[in-house]
Amino acid sequence: MSVSEYLFAYSLAALLLTLTPGLDTALILRTASVEGGKKAFHAALGINTGCFIWGALVAFGLGALLAVSEVAYTLLKWCGAGYLCWLGIQLLLRPRTVFDSSQVAEAASGNWYLRGMLGNVLNPKIGIFYVSFLPQFIPAGHSPMIWTFLLVSIHVVIGTLWSLTLIMATRYASNVLKKSGVIKWMDRVTGGLFLFFAAKLALSHR
């Protein structure tokens, strides 16, 4: 295949991956609905940073360790599952009933950014995916390092556009989504989803 064909094939695959509902989609939707588009965009930036961190690990060969080391994979897997459990339990046990913009403004500026980033970094399946998936779209004779970052950048751009689409979609229902009952419901549903993904990650095999 030509370089353009490699890029087109990868972009299509990355688009399908991005559109598949998962933890990132749940995080963006919940944050945009309850805390507004700005915080949701912070979460999206954190998710993108996590992708670049995994891309760097793969580019420099460290990500391959997860493909061959059961101990490394298991350790990171349980750290990720534990982190998702913590987030899920917090949302289930302490769901909010009021959207207070002043409280949001007083919150730590990097809070949702860090949550988005850690959600990705502590998920070893992202690393495994990059290790096994990206090399298939690197043309022979080209720099694996440069192409890894290029492909990750394409994935990030597609993910950012999808996140912005989700954020914009919530604006049309902002009045409904900010009602106390809806906020409480969103927190609990998202908490349940986080626990589901934590269990799925904990029980996953390579």
pLDDT, position 65? 67
Question: Which residues 6+ apart lie within 8 Å of 181 measured at CB?
Answer: 97
CB 84 within 8 A of CB 23: yes
Radius of gyration of the chain measured on its C-alpha atoms: 18
pLDDT, position 3? 84
pLDDT, position 60? 81
- Count of domains for the chain: 1
CB 97 within 8 A of CB 185: no
Give CA–CA dist 3/23, Å, rounded.
32
pLDDT, position 137? 78
pLDDT, position 97? 66
User: Closest Cα to residue 36, out of 164, 161, 170?
Assistant: 170
Q: What is the pLDDT of residues 27-60, one digit of tens each?
A: 888 888 878 888 899 999 999 999 999 988 888 8
Residue 104, domain extent: 3-14+23-202
Give CA–CA dist 147/135, Å, rounded.
9
Query: Can you list the residues of the chain whose pLDDT is less than 70?
Result: 1, 20-21, 62-67, 96-110, 125, 128, 132, 173-178, 206
